[in-house]
Amino acid sequence: MIEIRDISRNFQTRDGEFQALTDVSFDVGDNEFFSILGPSGCGKTTLLKMVAGLIRPSAGTISIRGTPVTGPGEERAMVFQHFVLLPWADVLTNAGFGLELRGVRRKDAREKARPYLEQVGLSRFGAHYPHELSGGMQQRVGLARALAVSPDILLMDEPFGALDAQTRQIMQEDLTRLWDKEKKTVIFVTHSMDEATYLSDRVLIMDTHPGRVREILDIPLERPREPGIRSSSRFAELTAHMWSQLRGMIHDPDGEVAPE
């Protein structure tokens, strides 16, 4: 479905040109949950924004079902780490806001978004405002907004990174249930080895300075994923392997950090 070929991305800085990504190539299949794991500064978010069409690669190509990505498209929706909700609008209006941006009248957008609020467990909170919700509930609104536009592809940029550990685990479990039901193609950026293992079909482990593909790891854990799988020996082996790949990248002697 998604083909990424020989992607590189350079940025201009005060000290000259900085190469954030180099020669990145991989495919993501239909209905696959594909995670991108790597240390801060390896270009994960830059790569996701290129798939979203928000920035252009310096070299290489990205295509979806054979069509080159040249900008944002209706088949894609993005969920950010920070909730990006409209503070003056109620939850139902926030959930329908993506539809409004695509030309749907507010009244119709609210009605179309209502079942997605129900899917994320917020059907009783449609008339509330963002400041009345917990962090986890706000992120559920962001997820409902992304689902409401009926995308084929969900692009998720560390969507649970700002949550406390308990809420983060609950959100992971909720997301796996939603994925089992919706069967979207997901590209999910994370720093967490545990999160990548629990959610994914495959995990791209990125190297850094410049960002590039180190390994693409299959996650052969059966679905649906139950919370108890975290205590299995196979789960522990997979996360330990990821850590063995990442350990040497955490401290960089040059102290360079790529733009995210």
What token pair was written down for 42?
């390896």
* pLDDT tens by residue, 70-94: 999 999 999 988 778 999 999 999 9
**What percent of the chain is predicted at pLDDT more than 90?**
75
pLDDT reading at 204 higher than 60? yes
In this predicted structure, what is the pLDDT of residue 200?
97
The alpha carbon dihedral of 37, 24, 212, 8 has a sign of negative
For 205, phi and psi rounded to 5 degrees?
A: -95, 120
Q: What is the pLDDT of residue 250?
A: 67
On the question of pLDDT at 160 being above 80, the answer is yes
- pLDDT tens per residue, range 109-147: 999 999 999 989 899 999 999 999 998 899 899 999 999
- Mean pLDDT within 230-253: 86
- CB burial of 196-219 (b: ≥16 within 10 Å; e: otherwise) equals bbbbbbbbbbbbbbbbbbbeebeb
Q: Which band of pLDDT confidence, cut at 50, 70 and 90, is reported for residue 255?
A: very low
Q: Which two tokens stand for residue 58?
A: 């310096």
CA 190, chain centre distance (Å) = 7
> What is the rounded (10 degree) CA torsion for 215, 180, 223, 139?
60
User: Do 58 and 46 meet the contact criterion of CB atoms below 8 Å apart?
Assistant: no
CA atoms of 125 and 122, how far apart (whole Å): 5
pLDDT over threshold 60, residue 183: yes
Q: Which residue has the higher pLDDT, 248 or 220?
A: 220
Give the pLDDT of residue 163.
86
pLDDT value for 251: 55
pLDDT in tens, 94-109: 999 999 999 999 999 9
pLDDT at 168 over 80: yes
Sign of the dihedral through C-alpha 258, 2, 156, 50:
positive
Counting Cα atoms < 13 Å in the Cβ hemisphere of 185 gives 15
With bands split at pLDDT 50, 70 and 90, how would you rate the model's confidence at 254? very low
Which pLDDT tens digit goes with each residue over 50-77? Answer: 999 999 999 999 999 999 999 999 999 9
pLDDT on residue 257? 41
Whether residue 258 is predicted with pLDDT greater than 50 in this model: the reply is no
pLDDT for residue 259 is more than 90: no
Tokens 């139950």 belong to residue: 226
Give residue 184's pLDDT: 92
Question: Could you please report the per-residue DSSP string of 163-217?
Answer: S-HHHHHHHHHHHHHHHHHH--EEEEEES-HHHHHHH-SEEEEEETTTBEEEEEE
pLDDT at position 203 over 70: yes
Percent of the chain with pLDDT over 70: 96
Structure tokens at 63: 């295509």
Which residue's entry shows tokens 């330990």?
A: 240
Helices marked H in 29-183: 44-52, 91-95, 97-101, 106-119, 135-148, 165-182
